[in-house]
């Protein structure tokens, strides 16, 4: 993994969301910040906790002019089920070939229950209006991710 760092240019992306709409990062340049959070798999307990907490604090992010977007290697139809089941109020983006995860440096070797495999590491990036990585969040739990990010944004 070659994790992107604070101060570096955020890789641009064009990915389909849960509604099969193409979402392009360039659209937000000069407009607002982006919280881009990478998560391993839709409809799993940890990812659900993280997403629902972001859903429930969406107003706080909107007030700070931060657009929340989640990225996973899931297909858009699975993202649609996830968004509908939990009434998620932000875009979930499908990075099926993990190209964007690779560019951000969050795709790599993981270990779980004695098995080693490649997958997405749960890492978030706050990208400023000029497309520069302002903060990288690596130290959080799925249950407090939203609090950690909001505290950092509020400083």
Does any domain span residue 6? no
Please report the pLDDT score of residue 1 as a whole number.
65
Does any domain span residue 111? yes
The residue segments making up the domain with residue 96 are 14-154
Could you report the per-residue pLDDT of 65-121, keeping only the tens digit for each?
Answer: 999 999 999 999 999 999 999 999 999 999 999 999 999 999 999 987 888 989 999
Does any domain span residue 75? yes
Instruction: Quote the percentage of the chain above a pLDDT of 70.
Output: 99
Does any domain span residue 126? yes
Active site residue 47: yes
Number of domains in the chain: 1
Please report the pLDDT score of residue 113 as a whole number.
84
Does any domain span residue 1? no
CATH number at residue 137: 3.40.30.10
**Closest residue by Cα to residue 38 from 64, 62, 65, 11:** 11
Does any domain span residue 4? no
pTM listed for this prediction: 0.95
**Closest residue by Cα to residue 78 from 88, 92, 90:** 92
| Catalytic residue from among 15, 35, 47, 68 | 47
**Closest residue by Cα to residue 34 from 95, 105, 107, 90:** 90
Does any domain span residue 55? yes
Does any domain span residue 5? no
Is the pLDDT at 155 greater than 90? The verdict is no
């Amino acid at each position: 993994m070659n994790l992107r760092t604070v101060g570096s240019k955020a890789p641009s992306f064009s990915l389909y969301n849960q509604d099969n709409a193409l979402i392009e990062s360039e659209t937000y340049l000069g407009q607002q910040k982006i919280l881009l959070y990478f998560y391993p798999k839709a409809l799993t307990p940890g990812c659900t906790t993280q997403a629902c907490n972001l859903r429930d604090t969406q107003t706080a992010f909107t007030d700070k002019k931060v657009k929340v977007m989640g990225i996973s290697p899931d297909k858009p139809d699975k993202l649609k089920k996830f968004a509908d089941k939990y009434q998620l109020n932000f875009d979930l983006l499908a990075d099926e070939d993990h190209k964007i995860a690779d560019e951000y440096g969050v795709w790599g070797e993981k270990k779980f229950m004695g098995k080693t495999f490649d997958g997405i590491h749960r890492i978030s990036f706050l990208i400023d209006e000029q497309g520069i990585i302002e903060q990288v969040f690596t130290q959080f739990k799925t249950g407090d991710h939203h609090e950690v990010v909001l505290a950092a944004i509020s400083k």
